[in-house]
Amino acid sequence: MNKFRIHFKWQILRTRLYLERLEPKNFIFPLSLFLLTTSALLFYYNLFQFTDAWENWKPAIGNTFHFCERDHMDQIIRQPSNTWSNLGFLVVGLFTLTLGIQDLKYSERKQSDNFLVRYPVFSILFGLSAIYLFIGSFMYHASLTMFFQKLDQTSMCAVVVMMITFNLYKIFPLIRLGGTYRSSHALMVAVAVGINYFIYSTLYIININLLFPLLLVIVFITSCYYLFFVSKEHYFTNYMWAAFAILVVSSTIWILDRTNVACSPESIFQGHALWHLFNSFSILFIYLYYRSGTVPLERLIEAKKERRALRRGEL
């Protein structure tokens, strides 16, 4: 009976998240890629651990040297716990990227009521953003250099920009071109790419402790707007609230670590490392929230046409 219940709940979960087409074999390559990447990094670290590869690089600024973990300035990885904890972002990135690629192969995806299945570009960019965050944050904490600090900060923003982009698409899924209603996904993706380029080229000079929270506030506002003014039924909102709750916990841990309130410099258990791990879970849950949605685009188009015809009749 217990096995039956577990199987039944798993089938419901697969259906709710549009995972019915996926088999374990679909995750062999991303799992192999994760293990290969981790093994290569560990091998390189063990080989060159006591080599200072960053002495001629321009040092990072800001919060860099204020984290609790002791800085090993004579080693290849200067903040080990804060560095290796970024592997969580790689897992999330490979997972969402795999789903996007599998959706892209799905011949009937255009008939799906789920936006992520119908337009895999969102999942693919979401996954690439998470992998970008892994690379940027991993290398930043390993090197404590200004170049990788920029990658770390802009990659943080890239993930949040994807959340804002999809929230806006949920709110405004249609645009009217030449009297015909079309999906606005291409426009939203172009805007996301443009914003990320603008952040990388210009806005990165803004203090990340101001820019990143501002972007998160926009995510929260657009998420609440959808719930209160569009629909409370289209998505499984528990995933979204779980993501926000985890983010609050991780932010609290970040503050405790940054202010050295909870601090043990020599320990492998570091607050900022927990910040990375909790944030990877938060990103995963917000993606699952998006994945749980059912919005029939054709019915939205028909409703738009009916309202437009009604207005013309009244005129």
Q: Whole-prediction pTM value? A: 0.91
**In the CATH scheme, what is the code of domain 26-314?**
1.20.1070
pLDDT of residue 306: 65
Helix (H) or strand (E) segment spanning residue 177: strand 174-177
Q: Convert 221-246 to b/e letters by CB count within 10 Å (16 or more is b).
A: ebbeebeeeeeeebbbeebbebbbeb
**CB 158 within 8 Å of CB 203:** no
Distance CA 104, CA 117 (A): 8
Residues in Cβ contact with 57 at an 8 Å cutoff, skipping those fewer than 6 apart: 143, 145, 146, 147
Rounding to the nearest 10 degrees, give the CA dihedral for residues 131, 135, 141, 147: -130
Reported as a single tens digit per residue, the pLDDT across 202-261 is 877 888 889 999 999 999 999 999 999 888 888 889 999 999 999 999 999 999 998 989
**CB 64 within 8 Å of CB 54:** no
Distance CA 37, CA 84 (A): 12
**CB 124 within 8 Å of CB 97:** yes
Reported as a single tens digit per residue, the pLDDT across 17-69 is 888 788 889 999 999 999 999 999 999 999 999 999 999 999 999 888 889 99
Distance CA 135, CA 128 (A): 10
Tokens of 35: 């293990």
Q: Where are the beta strands (DSSP E) in 51-156?
A: none
